Each structure stands twice: as structure tokens, then as C-alpha cells.
Structure 1
């Protein structure tokens, strides 16, 4: 019900009631806040008083009683007279019993007495002081045991005097250990491991406050009811009855509908101004009624014909309005921009209202305008056009109309300006049509803006989606790709060929993985949330992660975002780091063992040679030869260990890799020729850049690789190729050794550089050759990669950095 439709009597009572309720609420709220503030102050003072009492007790025990007891009892310890915590707990426990629901607790972490171990809520308070060491007091409201308490807590730290009983068990009094065992020790000096807590009940006091406030409201409401009754009686007798007597005089004289309605309005309003206005309208109505009766008597036939023509014009106007709105809707469907919308909309508006011109002025930051017929000049606006926009007010004069173009949410997009031809005017019936026209155009502009924002937002999202370097897919519940970014499409073509559809990587990455053939897509859809796993394909490792997308109907995830990341380089780097750490550890161990074992072996070999010189028995001399042979073999193993473990001495200098490799190949060429093995050297990429290294390092590296190759290739058909390749793009020189032997079993590839790991037969290898090669390459800042050729046989690639140009006058050292 609207306030303006109420009578004067009702308005008076409603205003009086609202004022009384506001006053009652303000007084009750102020009364409640004041009493609560006073109560909180009293409770806080009580809590502080308890802390003061506890401090007094503990100060007396520490400063007076405990020293006196030590004087009397020497090293004996009486907990009832010397422990400040024990005494304060017992005294305050009595206070708790006598004072009712008040709480005092002195607790600690790893308390000596389990009854005083900190509870979870006390641990939470204790953590507050541990995180903020400068804080000395905490106070607030906490619910303990279902009752709301005002809690005041302070930290307890362990100082030097506390360490006697709470430090190490061997320093503590014997009586404490006999009484509590080893519990309660291990506290550090200065640690905040304890808490003093005082709780004062607050719920009962709040209930009392609320009861007092409610009593006050009841008394106030009773008084107000009595006041309303007396005021109503006085107002009714003095004002309302007299007004009704005055209006009753007119009832007998009005029988037509308009006169009766005017009389009813007069009776409805009790205000004096409303009554006067009603009487004036009654007089005007009487005059108009008399004039109409005289006019009807003289011109009834002409008026019927005029009314018929007017109804015909009205029907044609409404038909034209319908056609106009249909045309506007059709233009909206064809429009993609604001300019197209107004080019489609303004001409039919001009035709419908027979206008001289129509224009639209945008109220946004662009302040652009569109006119029909086209005109270079901006349309002429009224002086108060800003107020028209802010108030969404339509202004129609005889020859002009200004209609705010209003959106569905009440925002004004711009101003539609219509200019009639000279002598033509807008009829009153056109006003509502123009208002509806403004709203329709506003909704159309709003829809265009929404569509434009949506397309821009989609373009931004698509740019971000395509700009992500890692492959991303959006798949449905069946695993079919809905969309994917360029990185996903590129990877799909790399793994599956050009026929890979829409970059769908799941069938390519997850095929052949047993129960996880869908890469755990089912787990993610089942509600497990984020799921991730690693898969391999074509020798590469990929981390596949699933992010469920919740459906709009809240019926669980219906789509999954799949993120794929190539982690091959990371895996290789981790394996290389693990191998380097392992080699470093083995090298340290090998150096120590070699030094300790080599000396006894030298003694054994020396005495064996002495015994051999003094023996004449052939069998004994043969036995000593066996001992000496195996002793020398052990020394060779130790020498390889030392070569692997000790720093690589030598002078580093720029070395021509191809030339040095040629000299080593020439040395091993004789051995290869005897076995009918083909040993070749190729230098690719033109003149190879220089590599900074000690020449003997390359000899060790290439000698070990060639010896291994000669051991595995077959006689007469064996083929060994040594290549040096310069890679200008990477700034590296590659030394490659290939053979046509049996190759390296895939299971052995991760371990071939481990010390003492060999695939050769017993007594044909120490397992240190490739380990030494790996150590040399690592010291040179390069890396070594092992694999198998497609044609069969092993291949080793050693990548070394190109040497930087020498600076004149600087001596190079290893």
C-alpha cells in the first residue's frame, strides 16, 4: 500500500508509530551497548585481578619461599613448597571452586602433570604467542564446554631458573623424577611453551542484559499503546468527523460516473488541500458537463462522423507502428555494428512519422552521431539534454521530439532526435509509441554491445589459449577433442602424422598403457579432481594433467581440460645429475680404496719376484707366475680407479679435434687391420673449430671407445667409424664413434656409465672404461650420449664446447 493513498488520520497514526519505534530502538540499543560495555569492563578487571593474584603468589614463592626452603633443606626439593606452578594452581583451584564457573588454568606443552597438558584450544592460543614473540597478552571471547567465556591469556616462557626442573633430567631434583618420571623435561631456555589462562563466564550476564532490555521495551510499548489510543480519539473527534460532515452534503447532487468518482476522491482524502482541490474539480466538472450537453444537442451527427474518421486514422497509425517495429527487428538481425543498426533503423522512422530528419547521438565517450538523411552537421540538441539522459525523460514539442534510448537495465545509451516537417506536429497518441521506440532501440543497442563484448572476450580467450606454448586440449566425457591449441595440433602431427585430427593427443599418448589407456580420464570424471600421470611416446616423456570442468547444471564434470608438457629434457637432466653424483661418490671411495690396496699389492708382487728368483721347482715357479699375473691385473684395476678418481692433470689448450682423432685412429688402425676390421675417420662440416682440452684427455676418451668397439665387432666384417662434426648453431663440436656390433641392450643403456658395470665376459673388462670417459667429458664441460643405430650397432656422441678465442698475454693452465 502506498503512503499517498492513506487518509490523513492513517498517515498521522503511521507517522507517530514509526517515530515511536525509532525512538524505542535507539534507546534500547544505547541501553544495551552501555550495559554490555560496563559488563565487559568489569569482567576484564576481574580477569586482570586474577592474574595479579597469580603473579603475587608466584613472586612470593620464587623470591621468598623457595630460597628459604633451599637454605633449610639444602639440595632437597619439596614440590608443595618450592614449585610456583604447583602452588599457584592449587590456590587458584580453590578460588575456582569457591567463585563458581570461573576458570584458571596454567598449562604447557609437554607438561609434567598430564592434567595440565595444553588442550587444542589452548594450543591455538599458545601458537599465537609463539608466532608473535612481542605479544604479552591476548583477550577475547571463546566458547569452552558449550559456555561463552571472556578469556584472557598470557604466555609463559622458561627462563634460566626454570631449567633446573624443566631442562635436562640429569640436572633435575631426584624427588621430581621419582614423582613424575622423565615427563616435562626438554624445554629450552627462553622458549614460550606455557600459557596462563583466565576465563570469566559471559553468557549468563548477556542473558541478564537482554532480559532488562526486553522489559524496558515492553514497558515502553505499553505506554505507547495508551498514547496512541488517546491521540486517535482526540484526532477523530476534532478533524475527521467535521470533514465527513462537509462532504456528505454533496452526495445527494451527483449521480454520473465522473461526479461520483470526484466525490469519492474528496471523501478519501482527509487533507484540507486535497479537499479543496476536489471541490474545484467538482465545479469544473459541472461546467464541462453542461457545455457538453449543449454541444451534443446541436452537433451530434457531425461528431459521430469525426469520431469515425479519427478511429480510422488511429487504426492506420497503429498498423504503421506495428510495421515499424517489425522492420526494426529485421534490421537488428542484419546489423553487426552500431553504424549498421542506425542505418537500418533511421529511414523507416522518418517514413513512419513523416519527418524532415532523424538523428541519434551517442551518450558514451565516443559522442558519435548518425543522421537520416545523411548530414555533416551534428543534430541540434536542447539545452537540458544531459538531464534528459540522466532522468530518462521523453520531451515532445510541437515539431521536435527527444527520446532517450534506454537499455533494459535502465542505462541511457544515447538520444534519438526527431524533427517534423514545417507545420506538422506530434499527436498525443504518438508519445507512448515514441517512448516504446526508444526502449526497443535501447535493447537493440544493448544486444549489439553484448554480442560485441562476447566476441571480443572470445578473441581474447582464443589468443591466450593459442599463445600457451604447452599443448592444451578441451575434451568431452568420451575423450573426443572439442578444441585444441596450436601447440597441441603441432605435437599431434609430430607424433601421429598429418592425419592427426584436431590435435587430439589422448589416443596417441595413452594407447598401449593397459588399464590407464585413457590416461586416467575416467578418474578425473569420477570426481577425483586434478589427476596427472606420465606417459612415453617415440622415446619422449610427457606429463599429462587433467582438470575437470564443472557443468553448468552442477551434475559433475562434463568436460576435461588436458594439459600436456614434454618433460624429456627434464628427465634427461635429472638422470645426468644422478649419474654425476653417483660417479663423484664412487670416485671418492675408489681413491681411498686404491691407495690402501695398492701398497699391499706392491709388496706381494715384490716378494713373489724374490721367491721366483730362488726357486728351481718348475711347478712352484708356475704357481708364482699365476700369483704375479693376478697381482698385476689387480694393480691395473687400481690404476684405472685412480685415473677415474684423481683430478685430470694436464695443460688445457686449443686442440684441433680432427687432427688429434686422426693420430689416435692411426695407432689403433694396425690392431684393426690384423683382425680385418675397417676403421675410418670422417671430418664433416668443413674445418672443425678448436676445442680447449688437454691432448691426453682426447687420447683416453677415444682409446677407451675404440677398444670397446674392437671388442664387440666381428672379425673380417667389422666396421668402425669415427666422425668429427662442427655444429655452428649450437656452438659445439661432436665426436661420434659408431660400430656394426650387436649394440647395447636397452636395459643396459641407463647403467653403462656406472663404475664396475660391464657387459663383457669375466676377466675381459673392469667396467671402468666408460666411467673414465664420462669423467673426462664432464670435466671438459661437455656431455656424452649413448644409443643404438637403426642399422645395428652402438653409437657414442661426445659433444664438446668450442674453445673461446685466446687473450694475448694470458697463460693458460689446466
Structure 2
């Protein structure tokens, strides 16, 4: 009995299909992996939430400590100063009462109810009496003075809490209310009496503060989140198994079924049929192997039988040989027909071309007078081998063959259903001039022919859909206006859209690769140890970086590695977007925000300083009139001089903070520059500094008052002179009409350049900030360039600065002024 049961189990296992075994094993493996990942997630999330609840409990304890420290250090001393001596207001002066009441109010509005207790050994309030757990904590802190905090899990009213506790240690400042009752305020004695809450000593642990949150606060969310992830994972396993099953059917099971059909078609006698029937007793692979082995044995035995017949019955062998030859030739014709069908699939671009080849091949194979294919899908077209011959209508009863696994033979015509296991395509009609003999019809071959034609039509339709999808994706790919490339980790370009010429700028593959390597080696806005090119070698996940080109263009580059599909080198999608305009706008916004914030601060400082300065100036004049001593007058002049200097700084501060007024006026920029150059020439000669002018003639007038332009030039020239005080040098001032880009149309550019030591790159972003200066103390206020920046923005222009140490040191300020032409065009 045991042997029979075991044999039945083995047969059941063998009868399982190859697909079921493969999918089951794969699902079990993925399921175990999912369970392991879920456990890891559970413990990880539990650890995170445990840390979170610990931090919350400590924060709660710190909040209570802060309230008590505030009462002790600020509120209570202030109340003692305000109230008459001996008065004591419990709700405003007791740190224990205030902290306990505040924490109780906070617990009402909190989402999760926390546990907070402040207890003492000799409580004045019965609610502050410690329980057994809190008494243990008081003893623990008393026995271990170095222990400042305790943290553990405890049960309160049947619910577990994560607790954090600290000792209440009485200090010198606590003795008035907790030491000798005679020292305590009278009102406190009236409220609490003189027994409880007194007789503590300095340094004694008199109580404990306990705070905590329920443990269920973390367990529930962690379990819910883990179950959600596991559910999504199980759903993914279901879809994954369905997808694998579909592809397995398509790639393996269908071909094995076709092979089984061929076996059934070619081997039809009783013994061979029994061998073919055994193919279904095991899974597909084992069945095919065993079937081929037994068929080979059968063929060997047949050969032995033929040799015996040859020795004894030569004539029978000859007849048998002729019969076998005829059968083999017939099968060879069938094989050639199927091969021609496969060749037609490779050579035909459309279903119509393939059907034309099929009609010709079938007509030649069966020597038919006419072959017609009736399409029963949508169009119901008819395709004939001889198109000039009349084609009869298809009898509706013949269409029923599509629902049967059979053929229909008439006197001189044969109908074959063209269908697969998934779709019905049409009917193939073969006609002869003569009547059909039974031996001319091989049902299995005819059905196999119809099935093979249907499979090829399906594949042609599938490839047509793929080509259409590919063309559509190619159009989308080329339609993207930003550079988009598919590359490998060695910077080989696999495919690139037309917009990628923005960074490649060449049609030759080798030069394009070098251009891409240079592009990915550019420096980033945020300094990184490795460039994008270096990180590309070991890229594991999406990578994003902002880089700047040599012509000062900013690009945001995103790299997306693709899953490896047996390629020797991994492939990466590169997407680059020009963000130059965004970067410039962001820089201007940040500068404006800084100036606004500093301007508000400067206004407050200026108003606070201006009044004392007026008083100093007034009393200076009074003292000068009251005394006649020359030495005193000189001292007063020094005070007045420095007072006026401070007043000028205050005036600049107020100019920064006040709302900007519309500046009216226009001037000829070349005239103002020439006049100012003469003013600074004398000062430059004394410092060995030469001023050169390069002014473009016939420039349009600019929308700027001459006095404002003079102040701007003064600040820039003074900064240039200060930068070259030690070694002398040269200041180049030039004017040009600017219209290289649309934003600068109808503007005039004023450039002031010196050959001083230059400005460091880390300082450059801050030079327009008020009070920012690199000069020595007393030699600069840091307001000059801020004033220039404010004037230029008010005028509707903008300012740029370039500083470099190569090939030689220089700093250049470029200021763009709108012209009267620009104002007229914009209707201002």
C-alpha cells in the first residue's frame, strides 16, 4: 500500500507541467525574499521609532526643566522685587506648581497622551506623593549621586510607557521654601502648613521628575507599515508570476507544443502513437527527451527488421523501399513548405506580402489549380493565387471550421482553417482540376499548415506594432528640445537626439565622445571631490549635478542608470538642461533679499545713532563759542570732523533702507566719464596710477542723472585706487553700445578695469553686501559698492563683475545703463 501511494505521488510530480514547476519555484523564492525583507523593515522601523519616542520623552523632560529654571531664575526673583516683603503668590512663584500645571495643560492638547509626574518624598500636595516605582527611582538617584538621568520601560495603570527620569536635588536657592519653616514666606505656611515640604538639606535628593510616552505609540504604526509593504510585495509577486507565465508560454510552451504536433503528424502507426502518447505523461522537457529516445529505438528496430527482410525477401524490401521513398518525398515536400513559410516571415514586411507567398508555395506543393485565402477578420478580403480567375463566395457553413479542429474536403476543393490557440484569421481554400483521393489528404499536415500560417500572421502583426511603437518613440526622442543621450560608462554614445549638439557640437563619433568627456569633467556649482565623468564609472542610482561650461553656461545634468541586460558595459541615460537664465535670476534674487534684510537692519541702527550725533554736533558748537583757547578749538574741530564722517555713514545707511524714489534725468555718458577722469588724474599721478579712456563715439544718452553717474564712477575709481595703493597700476575706463543679446538691446555698457591683485572667488559673491569690506579697520565702511548696486537697479540696469588671476591679475566692473531709446520703445 505504501508503495502504491509513493508511486502515485511520483506520478503526480512528474505530471506537473514544466511551466507550473518553473513558476512555483520562482514564486516560492521571491516570497521568501519578501518575508525576509519585511522582517528587516519591521526591525529597522521599530528601531527608528524607539529612538524617536526616546527623544520625545527627553524633550518633554527638558521642557519641564526649562519651565522650572525660568521660574527660579527670572519669574520668582522678579515677583519678590515687586511684591511686599513676606508675600508669596503660589501660582506665580512655585516652580513645582507652575511646571506641573503647564505640563498638564500641554497633555490635554497633545495627540498622544504622555505620562508626566513630579513627586517628592515629603509632598505638600497629596497628588505629588510617589508610588512604589517612583520611590525606587528616588532611592536609586540618592544612592548614585553621579547618575543624572534614568531611562527604561515601565508599566503605569496597566499600560507600558517608555520612561525618562531625573532627580530633584535641592540647592541653596531652594532652602527658603524647603528648608527651615521659619525662613519660609508666611503665605506659604498658611497654604501648606509647616510640616510637609520642609526640612530638606542642600544636595539632598528630595524627589524625581518622570516623563514618558506609551510604547503602543510606536508598535501600531510599525506593524501597519510593514503589513502594507508586505501586501504590496505580494501583489507585485502575483503580477510578476503572471508576466513570467505569459512569456514562458510564448517562448517555450508554444514551441514545445509545435514540436509535439510535428511528432504526431510524422509518426502515425500504433507503436509510434503509443510513444507519442507518453509525451503527455511527464512535463514537456522530460517527455520530449524520453519520446525522442524511444523513437530512436523504434527506428533502430525498424532498420533491423528491414535488414531481415532484405536478406529473405528482396522484392518485398524493394516495394517497401519504394513506399518509404514516396512517403519520405511527400514529407520532404511538407518540410519544404513549412520552411518556405518561415522564410516568408523573414522576407515579408506586411501580412499581404506573406499571404501572396503562401498562396504561391501551397499551389506549387499540392499542384493546385487555384488557392484562395478568405480573411475573416474585420476586412473579410479575399486573396487568390490566380487573380484573374473568378473567386467564389465563402459558404457561411465553412466558417464554422474556425471553431473546430478539422478540415473540410469536397470533390475538388479542400478547406483548411487558419487559426492559432489565441486567434482566428481565416480559411484557406485549395482547388484541383481532378477529384481528390483519400491518400492525397493528410489531415494533420493540413491542420499544421493552417496553424503555422496563423502563427506567422500573428508574429508579423506583432512586429508591425513594434515598428510603429519604435517610430513613435523615436519621434518623441527627437522632439525633446534638451540634450538627451544614451551612453555607457565609458562615455561611448549609443544614441543621441538632435538637441545634444548643444554639448557635442560635432558629427564625428570619436570627436563627440571627447566632447562628452570634457562636458562631464566640468566643475560643479557645489565643489565635489569627483567629476561626473569619474562618478559615471561606478554609478549605482540616479545622479544629478549642476555644472558650468567655459562660456559660463550652466547645465543641470541628470544621469539615470539602466538595468543591466547582459551587456558588458552598463548603459546610462543622460539628460542635460540649460539653466543659465535660472541661475542668473536666482543670484539676483538672493542679492536683492540680502540687501533688503540688511537695509532694514541698517535703518534701525541709523535712527538710533543719528539722534546722539545731533546732540554731539550741537554741544560741539556751544563749546566752541564758549571757549577761546586755540588748542581747545583744534580738539573741537577734530570732534566735529569725525562727527560729520559718522553722519555721512548714517546718511548712506538711511539711503539703503528708504523706499527707492524714481530717479529722473539723462546725460551723455562720455562727457561725464571724461570730466571724472580729469578729476581723478591728479590723484592718480600722486599714487603712480594711470587712467586710460576708450570711449565709443556717438553713443545714445542714458537714463541716468549726471550726479548719480559721477557718484557711481567715484566709488568704483576709489576702490580701484585702494586696490593698487602699494604698487601703482592702471585703470581702464571704456564705454560701448551693448546689444549682443536681446536682454541688453538699447543699453550702454560702462566698464571700469584695474590691474590690482583681483578678488578671490569666495569673496566675489559678497562684495555688494552692505558693510562687507576687506579693507583695514577705519579705512572703509563697506557701503560703496552697495550704493552703486542700489543706483544701478533703480535705473533699470544691471552690474556684473569679473575678477581673475590668469593670465594676469585684473578686476572689471561692467555696468549696463538703459538708453532713452530703450525707454521710448517700452513706453516708459
TM-score, length of structure 2 as denominator length: 0.53
Is contact 1:784-1:797 (8 Å) kept?
Answer: yes
For 1:339, what is the secondary structure of its paired residue? helix
Which residue in the other structure is 2:791 paired with?
776
Query: Aligned to 2:338, which of 310, 321, 325?
Result: 325
Which residue in the other structure is 1:576 paired with?
588
Alignment of 1:352-751 (within 5 A): 352-375=365-388, 380-391=393-404, 393-407=406-420, 409-421=421-433, 427-476=439-488, 478=490, 480-493=492-505, 500-501=511-512, 505=516, 508-510=519-521, 514-515=529-530, 518-521=533-536, 524-525=539-540, 529-538=541-550, 539-552=552-565, 558-612=570-624, 619-650=631-662, 659-662=667-670, 664-671=672-679, 674=682, 677-682=691-696, 701=712, 704-705=715-716, 708=719, 718-726=731-739, 729-730=742-743, 732-742=745-755, 744-747=758-761, 748-751=763-766
CA distance in 1, matches of 2:157, 2:737: 74
Q: 1:738 to 1:400 in 2, by over 3 A?
A: same
Q: 1:120 to 1:318 in 2, by over 3 A?
A: farther
CA distance in 1, matches of 2:613, 2:427: 107
Q: 1:184 to 1:557 in 2, by over 3 A?
A: farther
Which residue in the other structure is 1:287 paired with?
none
CA distance in 1, matches of 2:336, 2:392: 26
CA distance in 2, matches of 1:498, 1:705: 49
Which residue in the other structure is 1:110 paired with?
114
For 2:770, what is the secondary structure of its paired residue? coil
Q: Say which one has the larger Rg.
A: 1
Does residue 756 of structure 1 match 2:767? Answer: no
Which residue in the other structure is 2:800 paired with?
785
For 1:329, what is the secondary structure of its paired residue? helix
CA distance in 2, matches of 1:710, 1:376: 104
CA distance in 2, matches of 1:499, 1:728: 33
Shift of 1:310: 7.3
Is contact 2:738-2:744 (8 Å) kept?
Answer: no
Is contact 2:406-2:443 (8 Å) kept?
Answer: no
Which residue in the other structure is 1:202 paired with?
none
Q: 1:376 to 1:112 in 2, by over 3 A?
A: farther
Task: Structure 2 unaligned segments of length 5 or more: list them.
Answer: 1-110, 118-153, 163-190, 198-205, 218-268, 271-314, 685-689
What do the CA deviations read for 1:278-309 (whole angstroms, capped 9, x no partner)?
A: xxxxxxxxxxxxxxxxxxxxxxxx99999998
CA distance in 2, matches of 1:543, 1:727: 25
Is contact 1:359-1:416 (8 Å) kept?
Answer: yes
Which residue in the other structure is 1:794 paired with?
812
Is contact 1:540-1:566 (8 Å) kept?
Answer: yes
CA distance in 2, matches of 1:182, 1:121: 15
Is contact 2:663-2:795 (8 Å) kept?
Answer: no
Alignment of 1:3-14 (within 5 A): none
Shift of 1:753: 0.7
Shift of 1:755: 0.8
Which residue in the other structure is 1:138 paired with?
none
Q: 1:609 to 1:590 in 2, by over 3 A?
A: same
Is contact 2:663-2:794 (8 Å) kept?
Answer: no
Shift of 1:721: 0.8
Is contact 2:747-2:817 (8 Å) kept?
Answer: yes
Alignment of 1:240-389 (within 5 A): 314-375=327-388, 380-389=393-402
Is contact 1:681-1:723 (8 Å) kept?
Answer: yes
Is contact 1:683-1:725 (8 Å) kept?
Answer: no
For 2:743, what is the secondary structure of its paired residue? coil
CA distance in 2, matches of 1:537, 1:695: 38
Is contact 2:676-2:713 (8 Å) kept?
Answer: no
Structure number with the bigger relative contact order (C-alpha 8 A, sep ≥ 6) is 2
CA distance in 2, matches of 1:542, 1:666: 41
Is contact 1:540-1:568 (8 Å) kept?
Answer: yes
For 1:794, what is the secondary structure of its paired residue? strand
Q: 1:730 to 1:384 in 2, by over 3 A?
A: farther
Q: 1:398 to 1:729 in 2, by over 3 A?
A: farther
Shift of 1:564: 3.7
For 1:447, what is the secondary structure of its paired residue? helix
Which residue in the other structure is 2:310 paired with?
none
Shift of 1:551: 3.3
